[in-house]
Structure 1
Amino acid sequence: GLRQRQLLKEWVCFTILLAADYWFVRVGLFLSVIVRRNVLPQIWPPFFGQLPSLYMEAFYPVFFDFVIPSIFIGFIAHARLYTRRLPFSQNAEYMLKACIYSTLVIILVLFLLADTMDKSRLLIFLFGPIIFCTLCVGRWITKSFLLKMNLWQRDVLMVGAGQTAEQLLNCFERDPFLGYRVIGALEDNPDTSPIRNRTRILGRFSDIGTVLSQSRVRWVIIAAPGLSRQALVTLTRAIHPYAAQLTIVPDLFGIPQAHIEIDNLFYERSVLLHIRNNLAGWQNRVLKRILDLVCVLLLLPLLLPLMMVIAIAIRLDSSGPAIFVSERVGRGKRLFPCLKFRTMHQNSEQLLQDYLDQNQEAAEEWNCYAKLKGDDPRVTRVGKCLRRWSLDELPQIVNVLVGTMSLVGPRPYLPSETKRIGADLETILISRPGITGYWQVNGRSERTFQERIEMDVWYIYNWSPWFDFMIMIRTIKVVARCKGAY
């Protein structure tokens, strides 16, 4: 029947993903050997010695064909990446952790075999990053194939058709790798549903048993966080006999979500949600600082020539210094000098006031966004170009070096803006301000002042090294498109 076919699809997907991971680990191993043997010795011969062509040949069949792939696949399976449906970025985060743990285990295994086999330490450390890249590419290729073959899609029924259901539907459409296909929804107020034109409304909440028995859908999502406890219990009892999995979207909007841990108090029939504040621990703050310094020191040789050219262009374009120093509020409410390339004329405050006095629409825009989206009389010709590509922020790498800023963090706010921030100020100032941040890659200047505050708070609540990495990657994409730059 239908349920047997759905189970068969699940097993086919599991088998194909497992086989693909095995072969892409093998590809990663092959590329690691190629890089170590043929590429690195050409780049720096005195430092990277030649790797023997028959390196590990005696152990190749067992070690390369079975042991290493098994270790990687074991950690991938432990992260439940063969059964969980995650956004691609989150899938990559768990894949990275699996690769790190696998590399550590391989190092341990080789250490125990020290008297048995020769080792290239550099080759071993190449395994992790190269296999991580091949696995991510492999997952993208494999899931694209499964989607094309109509195997990865999972039919789900949505209980609730309000704003929460609309957000989920948007998410499923934006990230097809999740594989959720909404076949319909139940809603007690279908006439006001924002998704009534995007999916079928199959009935009311009370029709859940009939709809599930007729459609034979095995996965149900309750996306109605406003339901009373009794209504939720009633729905759960009605769904349980029919569904293989029930997903509930709780009313936790605005609450930190990235680091929630769940404990069940089984006999009390209660659940404890532990919300960890990652930036409260000194270890994570030290880790963030180390990552900042490493990235800046690597980028500095590339950026210094560009910064010198920009400084000369600014001096030739308008009178005044190339660097603009503005006092901003840093971590712990400490004020610090924030550096930027000057993009405005010297008398910018007077120019702004005169412009706002003469233009009511611009004054309203300034009050809402604290920026002018259109023609800004304060900005110089070179300044427009710098702002378009966000190059005016480059001097802030000096702030990162001295420890007053971070590469990624909340916006560096002016002292005059602290009153507008209100109760969220204490949360935002847990972290150093960042050159880029969550709101900069989600609309930039198109966001209102209040929306920026909410996004900065969301960043603090859900910080992780991977979150910082994804923001930096998205920053490159946003800057290249010049989207939201004013």
Structure 2
Amino acid sequence: MGLRGAPRPRTAASRNRTAALEQLWRAPTAQRDPAGRAPSRRKPAPGPALAALTDLLGLAGPAWLLLRAGDQPRPMAAAAVAGLVWAGLRGVRGRYTDRPGTGPGGALGSVGDWLVLIGLLAVLHTAADAPVDPATAVVAVTPGLLIATAVAGVRRWQRSGRRGHRARRVLLVGEASAVGRAAELLNSRTDHDYRLVAAIPVGTARLELDGVQVPGRLAGCPADDDVSTVLGGVYAHAADLVLVAPGPQLTGDRLRRLGWGLHDGGVALSVVSELPGVAAERVRPVTAAGLTLLHIAPPLRGGPQTVLKNVLDRTGALVGLLALTPLLLAVALSVGLSSRGPVFHRQVRQGQHNRPFTMWKFRTMVADAEHLKARLAASNEADGPLFKMRGDPRVTPVGRLLRRTSIDELPQLVNVLLGQMSLVGPRPPLPEEASRYDEREHRRLTVKPGLTGLWQVSGRSDLSWQETVSLDLWYVDNWSVAADMGLLARTVRAVADGRGAY
């Protein structure tokens, strides 16, 4: 009498059958590419270790010089301790990880680490009753922050520069419908490191993928040749990553055994999550009772980051208005002289929680543009509730230039200063557009609308309505101050490119 799933006693017959199955398990069904070797695990790059050493020396070296110049006692020991704490802190907070989807943290992350370092050094200073002057110590570790920020920037630049040279060759495995969805998403975007080279469907459903090789097919139920079929596809197409889209026919023990075979063959395995629109930073895996649980942090709706975002918004808007005053005056003069009508265009838009506000822009159309809109309804090129038209006859020559450079949006810095808008966020809709929103689209109004956002750096008016909504919903659920800083930097490039601006 035995337990279901427990190992059974081995007999001569079972040993022979097991040996045959193991041989079948390991034998690929397709020939390896003779010009190359089988995929293998990547060797760890020296980058993280070098970055940690740079942080340690970058803080300890200047600290020792400044402490020594300030006649502080035991400057070498104090600088060494500060450097070790700094490198250890950065390591604990994941600044040296080089996994896909992670990064050095950027300038904002370095500032946060440095503030934590000050707190730790203050605790050590009090506990050890060190004779070092606290003010001098803070000045001494400041160069370490500048060096760490520079190193983080260089690492991020290197990672982005090497993206095309280290793209992962992906073999996609799963049921036809799931494989089709994953393939469509992978092929529709270029801002990732994954290149789809082949797909192996599960079951008998027809798989329609243009330009994607199908080297084999898995049966609808677990089979002894699952691993050999997948490994055959890996070797035939020189893939170094198997991406599995789980489904009713590929889950549980079958997926586990497939993972065993792939890892034994030196092939990396990733599983597609059924959590669309959730950033990796919000997901935390834990294990309980033999189950792998994914804890998902709620979207930011309050707390320190919200306060910091509001401070940065209003500070940035004030600085921007002061710095751009000459440009704003010149644009206002050109708008007023080029066509009849007011310099500014005021329009009621729907803001956070669907509250209306008056949004300001430089006028880029003729004075009676709103009355002419009804005549152009048949020429609308946008889907959904938007109205967009290339070569809109209502746009003035000066207005076309302002739209091409997005300078017409600069008066919205006043709205940001008043707290009605944010520097980064979804675009504010017109009341008639918002009145046609469904429940999903209405979620765009959960946060403040923005002067720029994901739509701005992803194609602007070239995007379909559903693509715009998807980008806005991703931002609403996954925004952070660090992400806002990155979007502001990418906006400069998008404005210079001018793609989708009309």
TM norm structure 2: 0.75
Cross-structure match for 1:127: 144
Task: Measure how far apart 1:428 and its partner are.
Answer: 2.0
SS in 1 for 2:100: coil
Residues 183 and 375 of structure 1, relative CA distance in 2, 3 Å threshold: closer
**Percent of aligned pairs with the same amino acid:** 29
What residue in structure 2 maps to residue 187 of structure 1? 201
Any gaps of 5 or more consecutive residues in structure 2?
1-35, 220-224
- State whether residues 430 and 460 of structure 1, in contact with CA within 8 Å, keep that contact through their aligned partners in structure 2: yes
**1:435 to partner: Cα distance:** 0.9
Within 1, Cα distance between the matches of 2:164 and 2:428? Answer: 43
Tell me if structure 2 keeps the 8 A contact 1:407–1:435: yes
Name 1:441's counterpart in structure 2.
457
Partner Cα separation in structure 2 for residue 104 and residue 442 of structure 1: 35
Distance 1:258 1:131, change over 3 A: closer
CA distance in 1, matches of 2:118, 2:493: 35
List per-residue Cα deviations over 1:257-287 (Å, max 9, x = no partner): 65233443325x36253341212x2544322
5+ residue gaps, structure 1: 38-50
The residue type paired with residue 119 of structure 1 is T
Trace 1:310-459 onto structure 2 (pairs within 5 A).
310-356=331-377, 360=378, 362-363=379-380, 365=381, 370-424=386-440, 426-459=442-475
Q: How far apart, in 1, do the equivalents of 2:277 and 2:425 lie?
A: 18
* 1:158 paired residue number: 172
What is the one-letter code of the residue matched to 1:399?
N
Question: Is the 1:436–1:475 contact (alpha carbons within 8 Å) kept by the matching residues of 2?
Answer: yes
Per the alignment, residue 10 of structure 2 pairs with none
Shift of 1:397: 0.9
1:292 aligns with 2:304: no
**Counterpart-to-counterpart distance in 2, 1:314 and 1:231:** 62
Asked if residue 468 in structure 1 is aligned to residue 484 in structure 2, the reply is: yes
Distance 1:396 1:265, change over 3 A: same
1:137 to 154, 160, 172: 154
Q: Show the counterpart of 1:233.
A: 252
Counterpart amino acid of residue 270 in structure 2: T
Match of 2:299 among 253, 258, 277: 277
Query: C-alpha deviations, 1:396-419, integer Å up to 9, x for none?
Result: 111111111111111111111112
CA distance in 1, matches of 2:94, 2:413: 39
Q: What is the aligned counterpart of 1:105 among 92, 117, 122?
A: 117
Partner in structure 2 of residue 43 of structure 1 = none
2:43 to 6, 10, 19: 10
Which shifted more, 404-413 or 185-194?
185-194
Residues 105, 152 of structure 2: 8 Å contact kept: no
SS in 2 for 1:273: strand
Once the two structures are TM-superposed, the CA of residue 103 in structure 1 deviates from its matched residue by: 4.5
Kept after mapping to 2: 8 A contact 1:103/1:128: no
Paired residues of 1:28 and 1:127 also in contact (CA < 8 A): yes
Structure 1 residues 207-228: Cα deviation after superposition (integer angstroms, max 9, x where no partner): 4321466768997544325x21
Structure 1 residue 100: Cα displacement: 2.3
Q: How far off its partner does 1:247 sit? A: 1.9
**What is the rounded CA distance, in whole Å, between the counterparts of 2:427 and 2:156 in structure 1?**
35
CA contact (8 A) 1:25 1:135 kept: no
> Shift of the alpha carbon at 1:327?
0.8
| Contact 1:29–1:131 (Cα < 8 Å) also in 2 | no
The alpha-carbon deviation at position 131 of structure 1 amounts to 1.4
2:105 maps to 1:93: yes
Secondary structure of residue in 1 paired with 2:361: strand
Following superposition, the deviation at residue 341 of structure 1 comes to: 0.9
Compared with structure 1, are the counterparts of its residues 123 and 288 closer, same or farther at alpha carbon in structure 2 (3 Å cutoff)?
Answer: same
Equivalent-residue separation in structure 2 for 1:135 and 1:126 (angstroms): 14
Structure with the greater relative contact order (CA < 8 A, sep ≥ 6): 1 or 2?
Answer: 2
Q: Could you tell me whether the CA contact under 8 Å between 2:97 and 2:104 is conserved in 1?
A: no
Code of the aligned partner of 2:366:
H
Q: TM-score, normalised to structure 1's length?
A: 0.77
State yes or no: 1:481 paired with 2:481. Answer: no
Q: Deviations over 1:87-113 (max 9, x none)?
A: 4xx514378536622452245426744
Contact map agreement 2:55 2:83 (CA 8 A) in 1 = no
- Letter of the structure 1 residue corresponding to residue 218 of structure 2: F
With over 3 angstroms needed to count, the CA separation of the structure-2 counterparts of 1:446 and 1:433, relative to structure 1, is same
Q: C-alpha separation between the residues in 2 aligned to 1:77 and 1:413? A: 43
> Is 1:70 matched with 2:88?
no
- 1:10 CA displacement: 2.3
Separation in structure 2 between the aligned mates of residue 195 and residue 247 of structure 1, nearest angstrom: 23
- Aligned-partner residue type, residue 209 of structure 2: P
